[in-house]
């Protein structure tokens, strides 16, 4: 296909500036093959004021292709270059306007529970793809069931594209479990949780409490305008009009009804009612959902008095039915259970009264007969008392005889022991022991004196032997020798020191005679160069213009640093002359 070149277009064999990286590969391959494919250009996007027109250097590459004979001419299309933000914004507008409300089925994954603000973030996935889902806290609070990984749900919401990350997600406004309703799932989840805590089921912490046979006062939690209350009161008063009823009005349907029902149960439990009836008429699951709320279930379980649940019809079951102490299929059945028929009670009371009177009469006759027979067997107490007195007198005489015999035996034993004690008087034995002790004390003193004398003699002999081998004389002799040697050493030290001092004095005289300061003190001076400190010994050591220092040893200077100094500059150097 041949294309015409307009004014300002590049030659066919040239590559437009900036197109080498984008089109060089494909264009070169097509040129080698000798075939140029021309496709219909895409429709131009609507004009956008924010996007500047594309420059002529970025025109479509098909303008630079070689012309083919017989090909019709067409206008050269232009390209529009978008920024990433512009492209993302156009996609966002297109996607969000195209999918304002969608229903998506998938399996929940990567769910970590609500975040700190109550928002839910999770992923919906199937075998082919996955989708990020967000659910704000306001919608999450309306969920009737607990979300978990692996749960198949149908999500309703709108598609949203997050521009900074270029990712799209689903903003869910409603979630419903697939295959089962949200209310049914929430019902089962709450039932399982309460069973695990011991509020319902076979392992409940507190077994169901028995209902009173004839309650003095019945508390009712329901709506005072509902038909359930009328049915309950009608059946209750038709059976027993004397029963007292305390009503706590509460909404049984709609937003906030669960809190009112729970508050009513708590208020009635603080009164003098004997039993509490929680009731309402029939309806759909949504209408009865107030009595499936956890708040109501915990209030029923915490009630100190028995609670009867009479919700809906016989086929309707709620969480309150499982937590309550007794479930009535209908409000009328609850009234029948709590209110015995007054006539039946009166008839039963009269029957029991007659039976009780007859039983009492029979019991009185039986006791009278037993009293007569017992009276015939009973002995005169005065005769029995005389007999016991005689027995007591005989026992006293026998005891006196035994005590006298025992007293005689004890006195004989005491006399025997006294005689034996007199023979074994401790005073005599004590005098004997004292005499023996004096004898032993004397023998001990003699033995101690002999031992002390022997030890003193032995000590005297040891002292004499020690004096013979004492080192004191040897120490005195060695001290004398040490004093003599010390005197000789001091004399030798003094002689050596005097000889050394004389030698040093001779050396000092010689050194002083050879000292240059002595020579300088006679009028001589020392000349040295200021540049390097060298001593000037001949005219070859100085040059004209050099600074010299001349030192004089005056005022008895001891060192060259203490000499007076004169600085002089050499102006001329003369040859040797006769001094």
pLDDT in tens, the chain (579 residues): 334 443 333 333 333 333 333 233 333 333 333 333 333 344 444 444 443 444 433 333 333 334 444 445 566 667 888 888 888 888 888 888 888 888 898 888 888 888 888 899 999 888 788 899 999 988 888 887 788 777 788 889 999 888 888 888 899 988 888 755 566 777 888 888 888 888 888 888 888 888 988 898 999 999 988 888 998 999 989 998 888 999 999 998 888 888 999 999 999 989 889 999 999 988 777 788 888 888 898 999 989 999 999 988 877 788 888 889 899 988 999 998 988 888 888 888 889 999 999 999 999 999 988 888 887 777 777 777 888 888 898 899 899 999 999 999 999 999 988 888 877 777 777 888 888 899 999 999 999 999 999 999 999 988 888 877 778 877 888 889 999 999 999 999 999 999 999 999 888 888 877 777 767 766 677 888 888 878 888 877 788 888 888 887 766 666 766 677 888 888 887 766 555
Question: What pLDDT score was predicted for residue 40?
Answer: 36
Bridge partners of 535, per DSSP, are 528
* DSSP tag of 226: S
- Residue 307 CB-density burial (10 A; 0-12 exposed, 13-18 middle, 19+ buried): buried
Residue numbers of the domain that contains 564: 516-569
Q: Is residue 419 situated within a structural domain? A: no
Domain identity same for 297 and 324: yes
Question: What pLDDT score was predicted for residue 27?
Answer: 34
CB atoms within 10 A of CB 41: 14
Question: What pLDDT score was predicted for residue 14?
Answer: 38
Domain identity same for 280 and 326: yes
> Of all helices (H) and strands (E), which one includes residue 445?
helix 426-468
Q: Is residue 549 situated within a structural domain? A: yes
Domain identity same for 174 and 234: no
The tokens describing 223, both together, are 């709506």
Domain identity same for 100 and 134: yes
Q: Is residue 424 situated within a structural domain? A: no
Q: How far apart are CA 190 and CA 185, in angstroms?
A: 9
Contact in structure between 295 and 259 (CB atoms under 8 Å): yes
CA angle 345, 346, 349 (to 5 degrees): 85
Domain identity same for 75 and 90: no
Domain identity same for 3 and 66: yes
Task: Give the contacts of 232 (CB within 8 A, at least 6 positions apart).
Answer: 220, 222, 277, 279, 310, 331, 332, 334, 335
Q: Is residue 412 situated within a structural domain? A: no
Domain identity same for 219 and 291: yes
Q: Is residue 195 situated within a structural domain? A: no
Q: How far apart are CA 221 and CA 231, in angstroms?
A: 14
Domain identity same for 134 and 93: yes
- Residue 497 CB-density burial (10 A; 0-12 exposed, 13-18 middle, 19+ buried): exposed
Q: Is residue 336 situated within a structural domain? A: yes
Q: How far apart are CA 527 and CA 569, in angstroms?
A: 12
Q: How far apart are CA 235 and CA 240, in angstroms?
A: 9
Helix or strand or coil: residue 126?
coil
Q: Is residue 506 situated within a structural domain? A: no
Among 56, 81, 106, the domain boundary falls at 81
Query: What CATH number is given to the structural domain containing 124?
Result: 2.40.50.140
Domain identity same for 163 and 116: yes
Question: What pLDDT score was predicted for residue 408?
Answer: 92
Helix or strand or coil: residue 405?
helix
User: What are the tens digits of pLDDT across the range 224-262?
Assistant: 888 889 989 999 899 988 889 999 999 988 888 889 999
Q: How far apart are CA 121 and CA 171, in angstroms?
A: 10
Query: What CATH number is given to the structural domain containing 223?
Result: 3.40.50.2300
Question: What pLDDT score was predicted for residue 557?
Answer: 67
Among 14, 46, 81, the domain boundary falls at 81
Domain identity same for 325 and 290: yes
* DSSP tag of 451: H
Q: How far apart are CA 248 and CA 525, in angstroms?
A: 136
Question: What pLDDT score was predicted for residue 558?
Answer: 66
Domain identity same for 77 and 113: no
Among 21, 53, 81, the domain boundary falls at 81
User: What are the tens digits of pLDDT across the range 364-386?
Assistant: 999 988 888 887 777 777 777 88
Portion of the chain with pLDDT greater than 70, in percent: 83
Q: How many residues does the chain have?
A: 579
Domain identity same for 104 and 75: no
The tokens describing 428, both together, are 């005599």
Q: How many domains does the chain have?
A: 5
Q: Is residue 99 situated within a structural domain? A: yes
Distances (CA, A) of 477 to 468, 470, 490: 16, 13, 20
Q: Give the closest residue to 123 by CA, choosing from 114, 134, 132.
A: 132
The tokens describing 296, both together, are 């109501």
């Amino acid at each position: 296909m041949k294309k015409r070149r307009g004014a300002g277009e590049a030659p066919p064999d040239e590559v437009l500036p900036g197109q080498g990286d984008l089109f060089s590969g494909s264009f070169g391959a097509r040129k080698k093959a000798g075939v140029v494919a021309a496709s219909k250009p895409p429709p131009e996007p609507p004009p956008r004021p924010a996007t500047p027109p594309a420059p002529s250097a970025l025109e479509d590459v098909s303008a630079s292709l070689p012309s083919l004979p017989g090909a019709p001419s067409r206008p050269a299309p232009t390209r529009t270059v978008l920024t990433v933000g512009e492209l993302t914004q156009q996609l966002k507008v297109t996607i969000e306007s195209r999918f304002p409300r969608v229903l998506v089925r998938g399996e929940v994954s990567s769910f970590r529970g609500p975040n700190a603000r109550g928002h839910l973030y999770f992923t919906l996935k199937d075998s082919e793809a996955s989708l990020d889902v967000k659910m704000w806290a306001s919608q999450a609070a309306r969920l009737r069931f607990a979300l978990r990984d692996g749960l198949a749900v149908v999500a309703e919401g709108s598609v949203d594209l997050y521009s900074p990350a270029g990712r799209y997600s689903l903003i869910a406004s409603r979630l419903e479990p697939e295959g089962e309703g949200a209310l049914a799932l929430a019902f089962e989840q709450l039932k399982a949780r309460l069973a695990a805590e011991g509020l319902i089921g076979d392992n409940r912490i507190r077994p169901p409490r028995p209902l009173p046979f004839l309650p003095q006062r019945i508390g009712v939690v329901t709506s005072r305008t509902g038909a359930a209350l009328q049915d309950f009161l009608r059946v209750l008063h038709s059976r027993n009009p004397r029963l007292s009823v305390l009503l706590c009005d509460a909404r049984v349907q709609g937003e906030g009804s669960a809190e009112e029902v729970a508050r009513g149960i708590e208020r009635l439990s603080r009164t003098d009612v004997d039993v509490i009836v929680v009731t309402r008429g029939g309806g759909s699951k949504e209408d009865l959902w107030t009595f499936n709320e956890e708040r109501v279930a915990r209030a029923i379980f915490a009630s100190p008095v028995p609670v009867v649940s009479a919700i809906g019809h016989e086929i309707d079951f709620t969480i309150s039915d499982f937590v309550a102490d007794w479930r009535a299929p209908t409000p009328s059945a609850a009234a029948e259970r709590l209110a015995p028929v007054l006539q039946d009670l009166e008839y039963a009371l009269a029957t029991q009264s007659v039976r009780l009177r007859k039983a009492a009469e029979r019991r009185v006759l039986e006791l009278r007969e037993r009293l007569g027979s017992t009276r015939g067997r009973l002995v005169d107490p005065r005769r029995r008392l005389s007999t016991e007195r005689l027995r007591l007198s005989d026992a006293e005489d026998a005891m006196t005889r035994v005590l006298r015999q025992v007293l005689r035996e004890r006195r004989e034993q005491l006399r025997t022991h006294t005689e034996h004690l007199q023979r074994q008087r401790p005073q005599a034995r004590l005098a004997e022991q004292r005499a023996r002790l004096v004898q032993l004390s004397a023998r001990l003193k003699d033995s101690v004196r002999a031992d002390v004398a022997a030890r003193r003699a032995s000590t005297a002999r040891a002292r004499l032997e020690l004096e013979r081998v004492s080192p004191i004389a040897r120490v005195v002799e060695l001290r004398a020798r040490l004093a003599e040697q010390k005197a000789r050493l001091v004399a030798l030290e003094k002689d050596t020191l005097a000889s050394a001092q004389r030698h040093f004095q001779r050396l000092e005289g010689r050194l002083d005679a050879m000292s240059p300061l002595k020579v300088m003190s006679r009028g001589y001076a020392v000349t040295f160069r200021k540049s390097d400190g060298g001593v000037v010994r001949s005219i070859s050591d100085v040059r004209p213009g050099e600074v010299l220092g001349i030192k004089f040893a005056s005022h008895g200077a001891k060192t060259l640093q203490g000499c007076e100094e004169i600085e002089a500059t050499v102006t001329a150097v003369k040859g040797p002359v006769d001094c």
